[in-house]
């Protein structure tokens, strides 16, 4: 199995993500090749929480141009994670959504 810190890249801190903190719903950027089971296991191991549901979203990179040359920005995979009611909140996010 992959290292959990390689699966979870970083938290996504946007206004929409802040709205979900009260209902124990968090958003993370995860590895492109990670599946829902790996994301669930990584979060439970790293943060010590009980995960109820994981929804994933994969977005293609935007096309950018510099003169004649065109390329893409990297694609991103996000995981919307809902914790169980009896689970503790993730301490990293405490105090952010006030």
Please give the structure tokens belonging to residue 47.
């943060």
Residue 9 predicted with pLDDT over 90? yes
Across residues 64-89, what is the average pLDDT?
94
Cβ–Cβ < 8 Å for 52, 83: yes
Q: Break the chain into its structural domains and give their ranges.
A: 4-85
Query: Phi-psi region for residue 68, left (φ > 0), alpha (ψ -120 to 50) or beta?
Result: alpha
The tokens describing 26, both together, are 């968090």
Q: Read off the pLDDT of each residue in 5-27 and give the average, rounded to a whole number.
A: 92
For 31-74, what is each residue's pLDDT tens digit? Answer: 999 999 999 999 999 999 999 999 999 999 999 999 999 999 99
Global pTM reads: 0.86
Average pLDDT, the chain: 91
Query: Of 3.50.50.60, 3.30.70.330, 3.30.450.40, 1.10.10.10, which CATH number belongs to 4-85?
Result: 3.30.70.330
């Amino acid at each position: 199995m992959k290292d959990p810190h390689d699966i979870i890249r970083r938290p996504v801190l946007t206004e929409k993500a802040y709205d979900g903190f009260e209902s124990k719903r968090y958003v993370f950027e995860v590895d492109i090749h990670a599946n829902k089971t790996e994301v669930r296991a990584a979060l439970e191991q790293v943060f010590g929480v009980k995960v109820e549901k994981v929804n994933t979203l994969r977005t293609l990179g935007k096309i950018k141009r510099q003169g004649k040359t065109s390329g893409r920005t990297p694609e991103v995979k996000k995981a919307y994670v809902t914790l169980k009611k009896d689970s503790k909140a993730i301490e990293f996010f405490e105090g952010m959504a006030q």
